[in-house]
Structure 1
Amino acid sequence: MTITQLKYVLSVAEYKNFTVAAEHSFVTQPTLSMQIQKLEDELDVQIFNRSKKPIELTDIGQKVVDQAKIIVGESNRITDIVHQHKGFVGGEFKLGIIPTVMPTLLPMFLNNFTHKYPKVKLIIEELTTEEIIRKLMDGHIDAGLAATPLENEAIKERPLYYEPFVGLIPEGHRLFNAKKIDVDQLEMDDILLLEDGHCFKDSVINLCRTYKDDNAKGFQLESGSFDTLIKLSKEGLGMTLLPYLHTLDLNDKDQKHLREFLAPPPAREVSLIYHKSQLKMQLIEALKTTIDGVVRGAISFSDVKIISPLQRA
């Protein structure tokens, strides 16, 4: 039994296809299949039911995969232990970022980080919070940038900043002439929302207790883009809520549509998150220090009310 064989098993278990698993493992399909067959022969069990489409794990195969995740994960940490001992800040680091944070935060710190730590190969993916958690648990990424708290005992959270919500109000709207708005003035059938899967949408829904998914607007919108929401709002189709950092790049004309909330304003907590067993702490600290340095000058809110990104019953 080898670590390589276990990695091949995990790849097939993930992609449910030998050819696709081989491509992601950077080997030929016959090589991957042969190694898995050798492992099955050695263990005298069948890990995969190859007659199913897509391929399925057998009952014993699922137990093998569960243990393989632990073994492969621990083997990968040997290099991390050596790097940590030497204080080396380098190597590959996989980072997931939620879509509502990626366009504003990434340009703020990426250039600084790559120049300060040239030996780090930073691999960045745009992922939903659910995808980040799953990939952290599976060891497919090292850390994530997401709205918190997540209430997951396996995930450590390092808050980076607190980002208030800001209202964008079209002309003619009942709140357009208000200098500041109150949470109690919000009506969910009047607010344009992001599509399902975005934690910012869930935070807005948690902010407004009277939410009913009854399509009272007369149209159904599914957009992952704040830019789309802004354009629709300016057309008079409703107000929307934006994270504070997303408002900084709006032009002067659009800025006139922004309304802050009365203190303490509702806000999201944005954190650097990672699995509790993560050992690349020298990279975690380097990333957090870099982001802290650039964000501190752009956002300094502390007297805020944190709105959970978790869906509430």
Structure 2
Amino acid sequence: MTITQLQYVLAVAEYQNFTLAAEKSFVTQPTLSMQVQKLEDELDVLIFDRGKKPISITEVGKKIVAQAKNIVNEANRIKDIVDQEKGYIGGEFTLGIIPTVMPTLLPMFLKAFIQKYPKVNLIIKEQNTDSLIRNIQDGHLDAAIAATPLEIEFIKERPLYYEPFVGYVPKNHRLSKAEKLNPSDLEISDILLLKDGHCFRDGVINLCNMPKDMKTEHFQLQSGSFETLVNLADEDLGMTLLPYLNTLELDDSKKKNLRHFNNPSPAREVSLIYHKSELKIQITEALRDVISSIVRGAIAFHDVKIISPLNK
């Protein structure tokens, strides 16, 4: 039994296809199939039922796959131990970021990070929260940046910053004369929302004390970007709420429509999340230090009240 064989088993279990598993493992399909077969022969069990399409995992195979994940993770930890002992911060690191954070946060920290840690090959993927969680569990992401708390058993959460909500209120809106907002001022019926699946949308719904599954005519108007929501608000189709960092790049004419909340301002917690196995922890900590030092200064003056997303 070898680590490589276990890695091939995990690939087949994930993709339920030998050809695709081989492609993702950067080997030929016959090579992968032969190694999986050798492991099955050695153990004298069938890990996969090849008679079904897609390939299914046998009952004993499920137990083997679960143990294989632990073994492969622990094998990877050996390199981590050596890197930490040498003080080496480098190698490939895959980071996922939710769409409502990516456009504002990435330009703030990326240049500083790659200058400070030039030996890290940072691979960045934009994914929604559900995809981030799944890919952390499957080992396809080393860490991710998401709105928290998530309270998932296998994930560690390290808060990076707390980002206030800011109202964008067009001049003809009922709240346009207000100098500051209170959550009680909000009516979900005239708030433009991101489309379903965005955790920021769920935070807004939570702020308005509205059940996530409540249906109104308003929900027919949804968008995937804050820029679109601002443009729709300018057409007097409602107001919207923005994360604080998204307001920094608005032009002066649009900034006139911004309304901050009275303290404590509703806010979202944004965290660096990763698997509790803590692989590549030295790079994870380096990321956290760089991001925290840059972003916290930009929003440190706000007294915030955390609004958790409803969709875990």
TM-score, normalization by structure 1: 0.94
Number of residue pairs aligned between Structure 1 and Structure 2? 311
- Tell me the distance in 2 between the aligned counterparts of 1:234 and 1:65: 54
In the other structure, the counterpart of 1:28 is: 28
Which stretch of structure 1 is more off in the superposition, 282-291 or 77-86?
282-291
- Tell me the distance in 2 between the aligned counterparts of 1:60 and 1:210: 45
In the other structure, the counterpart of 1:216 is: 217
In the other structure, the counterpart of 2:285 is: 285
The letter of the residue matching 2:50 is R
- Per-residue deviation, 1:168: 1.0
Q: Would the aligned equivalents of 2:164 and 2:302 in 1 still touch at CA under 8 Å?
A: no
Partner secondary structure for residue 157 of structure 1? strand
* Unaligned segments of structure 2, at least 5 residues: none
In the other structure, the counterpart of 1:14 is: 14
Return closer, same or farther for 1:302/1:158 CA change in 2, 3 Å cut-off: farther
In the other structure, the counterpart of 1:37 is: 37
TM-score, normalization by structure 2: 0.94
Q: Would the aligned equivalents of 1:163 and 1:301 in 2 still touch at CA under 8 Å?
A: no
The letter of the residue matching 1:294 is I
- Per-residue deviation, 1:195: 1.8
Q: Would the aligned equivalents of 1:150 and 1:310 in 2 still touch at CA under 8 Å?
A: no
Partner secondary structure for residue 152 of structure 1? coil
Which stretch of structure 1 is more off in the superposition, 296-305 or 282-291?
296-305
In the other structure, the counterpart of 1:142 is: 142
Which stretch of structure 1 is more off in the superposition, 260-269 or 38-47?
38-47
In the other structure, the counterpart of 2:86 is: 86
In the other structure, the counterpart of 2:98 is: 98
* Unaligned segments of structure 1, at least 5 residues: none
The letter of the residue matching 2:137 is M
Q: Would the aligned equivalents of 1:16 and 1:55 in 2 still touch at CA under 8 Å?
A: yes
Q: How does 1:1-313 map to 2 (within 5 A)?
A: 1-211=1-211, 213-217=214-218, 220-311=220-311
The letter of the residue matching 2:282 is Q
Partner secondary structure for residue 180 of structure 1? coil
Render the CA deviation track for 1:62-103: whole Å, top value 9, x for unaligned.
111111111111111110010011111111212111111111
- Per-residue deviation, 1:264: 0.8
- Per-residue deviation, 1:42: 1.7
Q: Would the aligned equivalents of 2:265 and 2:302 in 1 still touch at CA under 8 Å?
A: no
- Tell me the distance in 2 between the aligned counterparts of 1:252 and 1:96: 32
Q: Would the aligned equivalents of 1:84 and 1:279 in 2 still touch at CA under 8 Å?
A: no
- Per-residue deviation, 1:188: 1.1
Q: Would the aligned equivalents of 1:187 and 1:210 in 2 still touch at CA under 8 Å?
A: no
- Tell me the distance in 2 between the aligned counterparts of 1:223 and 1:68: 42
- Per-residue deviation, 1:302: 4.7
RMSD (CA atoms): 1.7
Render the CA deviation track for 1:177-232: whole Å, top value 9, x for unaligned.
21111100111121111122211111111111134632323x62343211221222
Which stretch of structure 1 is more off in the superposition, 281-290 or 243-252?
281-290
Identity of aligned residues (%): 67
Partner secondary structure for residue 241 of structure 2? strand
The letter of the residue matching 2:216 is N
Partner secondary structure for residue 68 of structure 2? helix
Return closer, same or farther for 1:136/1:301 CA change in 2, 3 Å cut-off: farther
- Tell me the distance in 1 between the aligned counterparts of 2:104 and 2:158: 19
The letter of the residue matching 1:119 is K
- Tell me the distance in 2 between the aligned counterparts of 1:276 and 1:193: 33
- Per-residue deviation, 1:49: 1.9
- Tell me the distance in 1 between the aligned counterparts of 2:7 and 2:223: 37
Partner secondary structure for residue 298 of structure 1? helix
- Tell me the distance in 2 between the aligned counterparts of 1:171 and 1:271: 35
Partner secondary structure for residue 121 of structure 1? strand
The letter of the residue matching 1:71 is I
Q: Would the aligned equivalents of 1:81 and 1:279 in 2 still touch at CA under 8 Å?
A: no
Partner secondary structure for residue 41 of structure 2? helix
- Per-residue deviation, 1:301: 3.7
- Per-residue deviation, 1:249: 0.7
Runs of 4 or more above 4 Å deviation: none
